Amino acid sequence: MDGKTTKEKSPPILQTPRNTVQRLSRRASYDREVVNAILDDAYTAVISATVEGGVRAQPIYFWRIGDELYVHGSRRNALFNALMDGQEACLTVTLLDGLVMARSAFHHSMNYRSVVIYAHARAVTDEAERMEALKQSVERIEAGRWAQIRRPSEAEMRGTMILAFPIAEASAKARHGGPVDDPEDYDLPVWAGVLPCKIAFSDPIEDTNTQPPD
Amino acid sequence: MDGKTTKEKSPPILQTPRNTVQRLSRRASYDREVVNAILDDAYTAVISATVEGGVRAQPIYFWRIGDELYVHGSRRNALFNALMDGQEACLTVTLLDGLVMARSAFHHSMNYRSVVIYAHARAVTDEAERMEALKQSVERIEAGRWAQIRRPSEAEMRGTMILAFPIAEASAKARHGGPVDDPEDYDLPVWAGVLPCKIAFSDPIEDTNTQPPD
C-alpha cells in the first residue's frame, strides 16, 4: 500500500528533540521501513491532542497510504475539530508481542513494537482523493473487496471527515527476545522465558441476516 | 484483584461533560464492572498528557488494583515527571475484538472494547504499598509467581516510580456483533460478517540461557 510510483522516494523520518526516545534508546528506530512495518501490522491507534486546554485521547481505526496515516470519522467528532483548528496530534500505535517472565521482579518486561508520531492533521477534501482513501481503508483488510461492496453515497461522504497525518516526526520503539536477568539470578529455580502473543484471527462469522437486526 | 475487603464498596464512576461519550453514545457505559472487565483483559494503555505546552503520549504496561490503575517506570521518565508536576493524564485502553465486514463501505466497522480515564496521578511512596503494587504487577500474569522470583532490591526500588490513577472519571465504549447494513444492501452478492480477533497467547518459550546474553 505504498501509494507512490517507484520514482518517488520517501523522505527520511525527522528526528527532533521531541521524538527522540530518551529511555532505553537502544530500542528506538527512526527508519521509515521499520515504522511502516509496525503501522501495517496494526489496526488501531490512539490520537491524543490538547482540547480547550486539557488533554484528550481517543482510540481509532487507521490505515497507511504512502507516507501518511489516515483516519476517518464523523464531522461532529470533537477531537477532529480541535485538530482542524490547528492543534497538533500525537498518534500512538502499540503491538504487544509477548510477556517477558524473568527470574527477578525487576527484569519482567514486555515484548512490543510501538510507533509515536507527532503531526498536524491534513483534512482530505478532494473528492477523488477521499474516495481513494476510503477504498484503501477497506482494501487493506481484503484486497478486491472495494469492487464488491456498495460504495459511499453522497450523503455518507458529506458526513465523513477524513484526516491524513504525515509520518515524518516519528519514532519506533521495540523490545524482542527473552529475559535479561542479573548474572547471579540465573540459578533461581523459577521458570523464565516469554509468553508470546499477538492479535490472532479466528474463523470468520458470516452474517446470515437478510435485513437489519432490531 | 480487587484489593478491598468485601465491606468496602467502590464508588460509582463519575460521569462528567468531559467523559460523556458524544458519538454513538449507545455504545457507552459508565458502569465500574464494565470498565474493570475491559481493563483486566488488557495489558497496555496509552498515557497522554500536556507537557511543556504540547501533547505527549506513551504506550505502557498497566495493572489494576481495586479502583486504581497502576503503572511503573523509571524516575527519569519525562511524562511521569510532568504528571508529578500536576498535569492531568488521559489513559486509553483498547481491545480489538474483530473487523466488521459490511455490504457497504460506510458500514464497515470494528468490534472493540475501550476505556478512557481522566485522572491525576498519585505517586505511590509508601514502601510496603510499593512492594505490594509490584507484587500485583507480576501476580496478574501468573498467580504464585511472586514467591518464586527474586524481589526488587533497594537500588531497583529507588530507581522505580510507581503511579496510581483513580478509576473515577472514566467511560467504556464497545461495539459487538455483526454488520448493520442499509435494508436495500442485503441482497448484494458480497460476503458479510465479522473477522473475530483477540490477543492470543501461543506456547511459552523457555529461556535456556544460564547467564545474560551478550
**Residue type for B27, please?**
R
pLDDT at A25 over 70: yes
Maximal CA-CA distance, chain B: 67
Q: Which residue has the higher pLDDT, B124 or A10?
A: B124
What pLDDT shows up at residue A21? 80
Is the sign of the CA dihedral B185, B190, B193, B194 positive or negative?
A: negative
Is the sign of the CA dihedral A133, A113, B67, B141 positive or negative?
A: positive
Q: What percent of chain B has pLDDT over 90?
A: 82
Q: How far apart are CA B188 and CA B211, in angstroms?
A: 61
Q: Which domains does chain A have, with CATH numbers?
A: 25-177+187-195 (2.30.110.10)
**B183/A73 CB distance under 8 A:** no
H or E element at residue A72: strand A68-74
In three-state form (DSSP H/G/I as H, E/B as E, the rest C), the secondary structure along B147-174 is: HCCECCCHHHHHHEEEEEEECCEEEEEE
Q: Search chain A and give the residue with CA nearest B159.
A: A106
- pLDDT tens sequence across B124-182: 999 999 999 999 999 999 999 999 999 999 999 999 999 999 999 999 999 999 999 99
- pLDDT tens sequence across A133-180: 999 999 999 999 999 999 999 999 999 999 999 999 999 999 999 999
- pLDDT tens sequence across B44-75: 999 999 998 899 999 999 999 999 999 999 98
Q: Tell me the C-alpha to C-alpha distance, in Å, between residue B203 and each of A24, A133, A149, A193, B211.
A: 28, 38, 39, 11, 23
Q: Which residue has the higher pLDDT, B146 or B214?
A: B146
Q: Tell me the C-alpha to C-alpha distance, in Å, between residue B54 and each of A48, A76, A196, A210, B21.
A: 10, 24, 35, 49, 24
Is the sign of the CA dihedral A48, A49, A55, A56 positive or negative?
A: negative
Q: Search chain B and give the residue with CA nearest A95.
A: B44
* CB atoms closer than 10 angstroms to residue A74: 13
State the best of A103, A104, A106 to mutate against chain B, taking most chain B CBs within 10 Å: A106
How far A214 CA sits from the closest chain B CA (Å)?
10
* CB atoms closer than 10 angstroms to residue B119: 21
pTM summary value: 0.93
Which chain A residues have a beta carbon less than 8 Å from that of B51? none
Which chain A residues have a beta carbon less than 8 Å from that of B161? none
**Residue type for B85, please?**
D
pLDDT at B1 over 50: no
Across the interface, of A59, A106, A204, the residue whose CB is closest to B152 is A106
Assembly ipTM? 0.92
pLDDT at A113 over 90: yes
**Residue type for B150, please?**
R
Q: Search chain B and give the residue with CA nearest A186.
A: B210
A52: confidence class by pLDDT, cuts 50, 70, 90:
confident
What pLDDT shows up at residue A1? 46
What pLDDT shows up at residue B17? 81
Q: How far apart are CA B2 and CA A194, in angstroms?
A: 27
Q: List the Cα angle B167/B169/B174 in 5-degree steps.
A: 85
Residue A137 in grid coordinates: 481503508
B7: confidence class by pLDDT, cuts 50, 70, 90:
low
